[in-house]
Structure 1
Amino acid sequence: MIPDRTIPPGELSIRVYYEDTDTGGVVYYANYLKFFERGRTEWLRALGMDQHTLATQEQMMFVVKHADIAYRQPARLDDRILVRTAVTGLGASTIRFAQQALRDGTLLASADIQVCTVHALSFKPIRLSPSVRDLLEKALH
């Protein structure tokens, strides 16, 4: 997926495809997790963090530890939705994201996602590296 560069970092435009919907043409609820994942990935990429590089060079990966999602309105086939992503907190080995999915300014779903950093081989929690922490702290302010 190529990000839409006409919108600022922290925002990702996504078209709803047939594969995202149920038989009624409504986005299946679990697919919002995929949309939010794409939003976080592209937000990190806009900061200069490539997850593949982090895994291979720093032996660090991100895994979702907690997800709290509230659904408000359905998205439908062919809708264009905007996923907004922001960091709301940092721990020693965790990052907290606030995310929203909107259609034409109408809130469809919101999420509080907590991500934990783990070692790429052992999958044991590790601290955020200083370089990653610095980038994230700048994004907080």
Structure 2
Amino acid sequence: MKGSGHDPDRLSRIVEDYKFFLSVRVHYADTDAQQVVYYGAYSNFYEAARQEYWRRMGIKLQEVHQRGNYLSIVEFVNRYYAPAFYDDLLDVYVRTPEIRPRSFDLDYLVVRRRDSETVAAARTVFVFVNHDDWKAVPIPDWFRTAVEQFEAR
């Protein structure tokens, strides 16, 4: 992806770079006619891991909303390396590699448990927006502090 700055091949595929993971079981509904995980199912895996990652830090989306903001994904990049299949147990790793003044990145790494094969890697770019006018606002200090403390920056 020239020009985007978010080349998926630059996402860390080193498990030790991540401090959090969530295990997810591939359900039948996650697969396609070839019994391979459907590409769209990965966004659900990332969402589940992201919510638990933030919960571990004490961050709840309800709190974001109560403070007058929403979190919006403005970019999503995903790279597939190997197929995952029905009933596979996948470890979905999440980290925050960078927080900028008005946006931040989340990286994801999906590893199949039975053979430690990297299945996929992804990045989402988030912005906080004001819920009244949907304009981007600076990353709140309370959010930045929680993430930086968890990631030990």
Indicate the TM-score class for this superposition, using the shorter chain for normalisation.
0.7 to 0.9
Cα distance, 1:108 vs structure 2: 0.2
Q: Distance in 2 between matches of 1:13 and 1:121?
A: 36
Are 2:36 and 1:35 equivalent residues in the alignment?
no
Of 108, 122, 145, the residue aligned with 1:134 is 145
2:136 counterpart SS class = coil
Aligned pairs (5 A) from 1:24-63: 24-55=34-65, 57-63=66-72
1:118 counterpart SS class = strand
Match of 1:76 in 2: 85
Unaligned runs of 5+ in 1: 1-7
Cα distance, 1:9 vs structure 2: 6.2
Are 2:22 and 1:23 equivalent residues in the alignment?
no
Taking structure 1 as the reference length, the TM-score comes to: 0.87
Taking structure 2 as the reference length, the TM-score comes to: 0.81
Of 49, 59, 74, the residue aligned with 1:65 is 74
Cα distance, 1:89 vs structure 2: 0.2
Aligned-residue Cα RMSD (Å) equals 1.6
2:132 counterpart SS class = coil
CA contact (8 A) 2:19 2:95 kept: no
